């Protein structure tokens, strides 16, 4: 049993599995994203400052490295897909929220007109 599961049991008194922890993490991460989406956050808010795409690092083992904006875009697309979020906006898909049994969150985004629009 991993240490973090032992720690959770010691704190809560409940038996935890890795699946339980992963499920709970999915709930937390997606609900946080839904909150941010409700407040107007979208893909454009997930970017690092422009200088990270153009100015190479000046020290350390990665000296001279930087990440071109095009590569960052591809990585962000992949990250969103892996999370079950719409790649063009960063909004959790209805399917992902239903899979996590977070239907209420999908319904809230629906009421706000976020799904079925360019903001989705």
| pLDDT > 50? residue 119 | no
Residue 117 has pLDDT above 70, yes or no: no
CATH class for domain 3-111? Answer: mainly alpha
> What pLDDT score was predicted for residue 1?
75
Q: How many angstroms separate the Cα of 27 from the Cα of each of 10, 18, 32, 91, 103?
A: 22, 14, 8, 14, 11
Tell me the pLDDT tens digit for each residue of 70-115: 999 999 999 999 999 999 999 999 999 999 999 999 999 999 999 8
Write the burial class of residue 38 (CB in 10 Å: 0-12 exposed, 13-18 middle, 19+ buried).
middle
Residue 67 near residue 53, CB atoms below 8 Å? yes
Q: Are 45 and 33 in contact (CB under 8 A)?
A: no
Question: 57 — phi, psi (to 5°)?
Answer: -65, 145
- End-to-end Cα, the chain, rounded Å: 40
Q: What is the mean pLDDT of residues 33-46?
A: 96
pLDDT in tens, 13-25: 999 899 999 999 9
């Amino acid at each position: 049993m991993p240490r973090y599961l032992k720690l959770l049991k010691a704190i809560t008194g409940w038996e935890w599995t890795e699946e339980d922890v992963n499920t709970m993490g999915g709930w937390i991460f997606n609900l946080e994203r839904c909150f941010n989406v409700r407040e107007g956050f979208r893909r454009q808010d997930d970017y690092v400052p422009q200088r990270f795409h153009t100015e190479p690092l000046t020290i350390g083992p990665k000296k001279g490295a930087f990440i071109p904006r095009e590569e960052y875009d591809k990585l962000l697309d992949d990250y969103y897909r892996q999370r079950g979020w719409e790649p063009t906006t960063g909004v959790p898909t209805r399917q992902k929220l239903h899979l996590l049994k977070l239907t209420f969150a999908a319904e809230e985004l629906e009421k706000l007109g976020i799904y079925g629009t360019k903001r989705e």
